[in-house]
Structure 1
Amino acid sequence: MALTVPEPEPCAAAGEREPVSAEDAFEALSAAAPKGWRVELLEGEIHVAPPPVGRHEEVVSELSGQVRDHRKDLGRYTNLGLSVPGASSTGKVIPDLAVAPKGSFDDEVDYHDPSPVMLVAEVLSHTTAGHDRIKKLRGYARAGIPCYLLIDRAADLAILCTEPSGDRYLRMSEIDLAKKAIPLPDPLNFEIDTTQF
């Protein structure tokens, strides 16, 4: 399905069209996107991704379940919009999974303040890997999210980024999937079993 940006209004003074801002285009594409499609605004660029495939969702479901098993006090949020201004002046992202204390997002807004988020996770795919590894990593670090977990099924790796500082994470650990557990530091303090990924 093609997604289109509305025509800009003509400029009365010069008879020329004013350019559509990235924010306006983002809003229009978000409204026009079919159910399940993700529209994100990262560093001033709009990214549209189709709904994830089954294996992707299996990994997200398993990860969410393990968080629930270890920490009943935490909410596990999928398809939750986060406002990550560090990703751009109007950064709007939808991580595969966000973990925060229950009740952190009990409101009606589309994109939330990321300050309660303790962990974000992205399951890499060929369409999103570049954004997840670079732009989202910078945005999540700038937002001060303590843990960023990337699951790279193609490389059979989990990459855990911790200790956000500026636009990067000071510590990055690579763990072979299905061979080792992923130890999550404060404020989570439990391990993720990768054998189910």
Structure 2
Amino acid sequence: MRPASYIQYFNQVKGDIWVFLLANAALGNFNKVYRGRRGVTWGRAVFRLGIYSKITSRHTVDCTRSVRFGHYSILAGSASQIWTHGYMHAPEGLDRFRVDGSVRVGNNVYIGSMSVINAAVSISNGVTVGAASCVSKSLPKPGLYVAQPLRWIALDYEQAQTRHSKVQVKGLVERVYHKKPGI
């Protein structure tokens, strides 16, 4: 922790996570930052808040992979979620695999209450994400982004396995693929 950075009350930080709070960065109250055990997770995960960046209250941050905030950015309000993993299910039967990807939030970013940031998303500098938005792809340009309309998107299980690189780490308990950010 750097000078004037702080962690307030009733936060839970669990798992093998490297935590870095730069100058004046803050983790507010009642937040959960967690990572699964080895064998479920692989490699190193970093949780980093840049200068004057803050996660306010009652947010959930999954650190299966790294989550990095730039400077002067905020996860505002409450009840937002950041996910660094998800699952791809076969069209039939029990088969599935996990897709992991780090999340990067740039400088001067505002993320409103009850938003969900999905795995492998990169948010550019100068972005405002409106409340209750689901961010499923990277946001490459500064500006305001709000919730998108619900729509159908074609999904191909076999093609998804070839699109991402397979994680080859001894001891993993399931098949895992690594999705790289879109920026």
The alignment's TM-score, normalised by the length of structure 2, stands at 0.31
The alignment's TM-score, normalised by the length of structure 1, stands at 0.29
The structure where strand makes up a greater share of residues is 2
| Larger-gyration structure (1/2) | 1
Which structure has the higher relative contact order (CA within 8 Å, separation 6+)? Answer: 2
